[in-house]
Chains A and B, each alone.
Chain A
Amino acid sequence: MAEAPLLRLEGVSKRFKGARRGAAPVDALRGVSLSLAPGRKLGLVGPDAGGKTTLMRIMAGLVEADAGAVELFGQPVSELDRNLVGYMPQSGALYAELTVRQNLELYARLRGVEPLEQPDRMEQLYRLTGLAAFTERPAGKLSGGMRQKLAMACAVVAAPRLMLLDEPSVGVDPVSRREIWQLALDLAGETSSIVWTTNIIEDAARCDELLLLHEGAVLYAGPPDGLAGHAAGQCFSRPLSDDGPRQALQALQLQAGVIGGRIAGPRLHALTRTSSPPSGPGWQAVAPSADDGFSVMLDRGEDLQPSQLAEAFPLRLDQADQPAIAAIGMTKRYGDFTAAQDISFTVHPGEIFGLLGPNGAGKSTTFRMLCGLARPSAGRGTVAGRDLSGGRAAAREAMGYMPQRFSLYGDLSVAANLRFVAGSYGLKGPAARAAIERVVAALDLGPHWQAMSGLLPLGVKQRLALGAAVMHTPPVLFLDEPTSGVDPLVRREFWHHINAIAARGTAVLVTTHFMDEAENCDRLLLINQSEAIATGTPRDLRRNALPGLAADTLEEAFFALIEAQRQVPAEVAA
């Protein structure tokens, strides 16, 4: 006898009225059906605004479907017993000012677990999340990874039969991402089911089943291997020469018939629209991944065009020998705590320099010091030849900055935000209009021109933020996790622009949690526990990171380097 499904959706549709009066209604979901057996793990993937969160809220009984049937545990969702479902919203729903313990105990009691009566459960949760040592720390002061673990613990404290986890790994470093996935598996055990939404295909590929949602409709439902099968015969790979892997990637992506490409260790990986390899020698057919299948399914059949965004940037390659960004022994202390210790590096014009490291390692602190947003406790920095300690205003003028969090005005329209940014960079009249038109055309913001910025899908928000950062074609560009939380399509588009902008002679400093993005950088600096622990090209890091270690992928090198620092206590500086 087949086991009854734990979760069954049949033809679920949901329409939201437009954000503004008179705006067209939005079909968030169009006839979504799925069924999940007990103990199975389902990955819900798809581009931003594809309907993932709406579907999660429908299953959690927080949004009512317009049409279709939603059943959990054989009951319609309107009769849902909330004790059986643990829902972790995308926001995490934590109280930042309350401590880890206060948050966990609040949700424990709300979900019917009395901490005093069930100390074992509480202890188990603290142990699994690794939060036992931080129980009295305010949730807002946790690193991104720990915060997500706490939010998950709060959602599933009562060991529910169904765990609904909305983007638990967003904005989290690869180490924490693995740990969060493992935590979910540990918490679910054999019997509980998981529905897990993500933009990161690697994460989704760990699930038993995948559901790919695009524009509210199911594009694929089945095991991860089946998704990969959609790209069968369309994947090719060739060895990369050591000079200019990034340039090779960019040339590949501009070829007609190429859907996408990425640098995978020493090889260049290509995905084509037909079963013929890209032009050029050395291409071998390789097995596709779920990621490739995803890209094939979402491919619109359009080739990438040269970046309009980059065309406006003046060529600045004449001063290539002068560092565009220099950090010289930069240190930042907050009281007893050292957030960044003696960080030094330079970035030359035309170079893409990546800062890597786990959440809370000191990346953002370093980044903020160089942007002039934090004053170093020791050391100094220059941007475009201007010292940050002196004329910070002048240095800021020479840089474009895209912060990690959306920092434009959420209650203004896209048009108003862009006009404001143009004005704040001193662009006036026809120059401002031309700059805005260029950004809007290059980033396809036209359809959102009058939309309120705060209500845009994340991918569009990020495009708007990028547009705002490059409007004045600065010689130096700072991008703080520009692709955090956005889907692979937007990520590819972003890197296409970034590469092209760098090719004009712009220096780019970028932080990222994605190893394929790190591969796209010319040089990298790995920061962990406030210190720079390795620097060099991606190839150097893979090959020479540690004596006797030759990693195949950057991710392995990353894990190995961080592990090595954890084991060897930091030497006392002379």
Chain B
Amino acid sequence: MSGRDPLVWRRAAAIRAKEWAQVWLDPSTFGLVVLMPLILMFLFGSAVTLDVRETRTGLVDLDHSEASVDLAASLASNAYFAIESGPSVAALEPALRAGQLRGIVVIPDGFERGLVAGQPLDVQLLTDGTQVNIATFLTAHLRGAMRDWTQARAREAGVVVQPVVRLLPRYTYNPELESRYMLVPGAIGIVMAMIGSLLTALIMAREYERGTMEGLLSTPIPIPALVLSKLLPYYVLGLASTAICVAVAVFGYGLPFRGSLLALFVIASAFLAAVLGQGLLISAATKNQFVSTQFALLSGFLPSLLLSGFLFEIDSMPTAIQWLTYIVPARYLIPPLQSVFLVGDVWSMFLPNILALLAIGGFFFLRVTRAITRRIA
């Protein structure tokens, strides 16, 4: 075919209308676009948390003195611990093994005497070494709690201990240091990555599987017009999902929204271009709905979760893996998204990310128009 097709807009509109009609008739689209974001946002916002609160900790007081009781009370009133007292280590150990207790604090016999005499004291902490993170958190929290308690005791006794250096941390943008503030924007990225690739993973494969692709290809519609007009409805649906996620984040979880809607729209659009393109390519390449869905989950969801810096800091990954993260679209979404919520519009940081996303989207789009030839295998 030579020259421009004068009816291309009309043909593209016909495809768009058809896609909308199919979306409308397919209840699973509603589930994917509305219910899945709600469920995932709930899971990531409420169930997944990196904060350590009320860690169930056993306490064995072998001293039974005024000092040991005071220490136990101090720990019990600390928000980080949920103290459960027991008569002996042996009595509490089964609970530790079963995971009901995360650690056991043992106050040794002669604790008070040693304290009065100024002798070094050993308060023992037993932790579950298989849960490395929790064990580390617990150790740190206990150390801090012990220090606070010793200083308080000293003050009561009239002894003033003047620390030489004090560290005063100020956690900018997230003063409460709530992990939810970090997690929810990340979760939005995961939801968008998943919905974007799943939405489009099916649409081309479905045409091939049912044999309708043969019908479409035999008509005069140019292939880029076919691909773009098939994509457009899913871009709108992807934006709708994003809007739902953002609403849940702000109104459900009380996140601040310090950036602008325009920035959010631009970032989300660039990201959707990349993930929709990814799904479309998978769909066109596999020509099989089942394989396509598996592939979309594998290549959309998992890398977004693991390699985007959402859960694991990219800087602490091995170099090879760090390189790999550059092809994960979510990597370019999550920092700007966190920024839009917690900081504000930082276009100098948004633009490189947006450009990267558009480049990925453009690459996928080119590949798709190449993968879909006017050929039926």
Binding site for B on A (CB under 8 A): 57, 60-64, 79-83, 85, 87, 89-98, 102, 105-112, 114, 154-155
Contact = CB atoms under 8 A, between A and B. Distances in A.
Contacts of B214: 57, 62, 87, 89, 91, 93
A93 B212 contact: yes
A107 B211 CA distance: 15
A81 B216 CA distance: 15
A63 B220 contact: no
Interface string B214-227: 11111111000000
A95 B218 contact: no
A80 B2 CA distance: 10
Contacts of B18: 95, 98, 102, 106
Contacts of B166: none
Interface in B96-135: none
Contacts of B10: 109, 112, 114
A93 B374 contact: no
Contacts of B28: none
Q: Identify the 3 closest CB pairs spanning chains A and B, nearest first.
A: A93-B215, A91-B211, A109-B14
B11 interface: yes
Interface in B8-45: 10-11, 13-15, 17-18, 21-22, 25-26
A95 B216 CA distance: 11
Given A110-B14, A110-B221, A111-B220, 4 more contacts: A62-B376, A82-B218, A96-B210, A109-B11
Nearest to B226: A110
Given A95-B22, A97-B22, A98-B22, A112 B210 contact: no
B25 A97 contact: yes
A79 B374 contact: no
Contacts of B216: 93, 110
- Name the interface size band of chain B: 20 to 34
A61 B220 CA distance: 11
A449 B216 CA distance: 35
B215 A85 contact: no
Interface string B159-195: 0000000000000000000000000000000000000
A82 B220 contact: yes
B90 interface: no
A82 B1 contact: yes
Given A81-B1, A93-B212, A98 B220 contact: no
A95 B215 CA distance: 10
Contact of A102 (B1, B21, B219, B220): B21
Contact of B210 (A60, A90, A91, A114): A91
Given A91-B211, A111-B219, A106 B25 contact: no
10 contacts: A60-B218, A63-B375, A79-B1, A87-B214, A91-B211, A91-B212, A93-B215, A110-B216, A110-B221, A155-B215
Contacts of B211: 89-93
Looking at chain B's contact residues, is the secondary structure mostly helix, strand, loop, or mixed?
Answer: helix
Contacts of B21: 98, 102
Residue among B2, B215, B220, B375 facing the most chain A CB atoms (10 A cut-off): B215
Nearest to A87: B218
A154 B17 CA distance: 16
Nearest to B6: A112
Contacts of A95: 18, 22, 210, 212
Contacts of B2: 79
Contacts of B13: 109
Contacts of B374: 61-62
B11 A107 contact: no
Given A93-B215, A95-B22, A112-B11, A83 B220 contact: yes
Given A79-B2, A91-B211, A95-B212, A107 B219 contact: yes
B264 to A, nearest CB: 34
Nearest to A54: B376
B176 to A, nearest CB: 50
A177 to B, nearest CB: 21
Contacts of A155: 215, 218
Given A82-B1, A83-B220, A112-B220, A107 B375 contact: no
Contacts of B217: 62
Given A62-B376, A82-B220, A89-B218, A110 B15 contact: yes
B251 to A, nearest CB: 36
A20 to B, nearest CB: 14
A349 B21 CA distance: 52
A227 B18 CA distance: 45
A174 B343 CA distance: 73
A87 to B, nearest CB: 4
Contacts of B376: 57, 62-63
Nearest to B206: A95
Contacts of A63: 375-376
Nearest to A81: B1
B7 interface: yes
A57 B211 CA distance: 13
A448 B33 CA distance: 45
Contacts of A154: 215
B11 A110 contact: yes
Contacts of A82: 1, 218-220
Given A62-B374, A112-B7, A106 B14 contact: yes
A62 B219 CA distance: 11
B12 to A, nearest CB: 9
B155 to A, nearest CB: 76
Contacts of A91: 210-212, 214-215
A85 B218 contact: yes
A97 B19 CA distance: 12
